[in-house]
Amino acid sequence: MPRTPRTRTPPSSCEGTEYVRCDVEEVMVSTSITGFSERFVCTYLDPETGRQEDVEMTVQGGGTTHFSPSTD
């Protein structure tokens, strides 16, 4: 039984679907007091047509305060 390699654990939006791969492009792209967001690119495999298409999605996370030192 062939195993599908996964680069990362897919975000919750990918679970329970036919996504075969999920790559994290940027983690914590927008970091602020309100939380953070992760951008994922998921490769979706359409079981009916057998075609694969890339779907980009942003996962929002809250309750995390992250301050990074900024230099002017």
- Token pair listed for 17: 């679907």
Q: Does residue 41 surpass a pLDDT of 60?
A: yes
Q: Higher-confidence residue: 8 or 52?
A: 52
Residue 72: pLDDT band by 50, 70, 90 thresholds?
Answer: very low
Residue 66: pLDDT band by 50, 70, 90 thresholds?
Answer: very low
Over residues 54-70, the mean pLDDT reads 57
Average confidence score pLDDT of the chain: 57
What's the rounded Cα separation, in Å, for the pair 64 and 26?
Answer: 17
Residue 52: pLDDT band by 50, 70, 90 thresholds?
Answer: confident
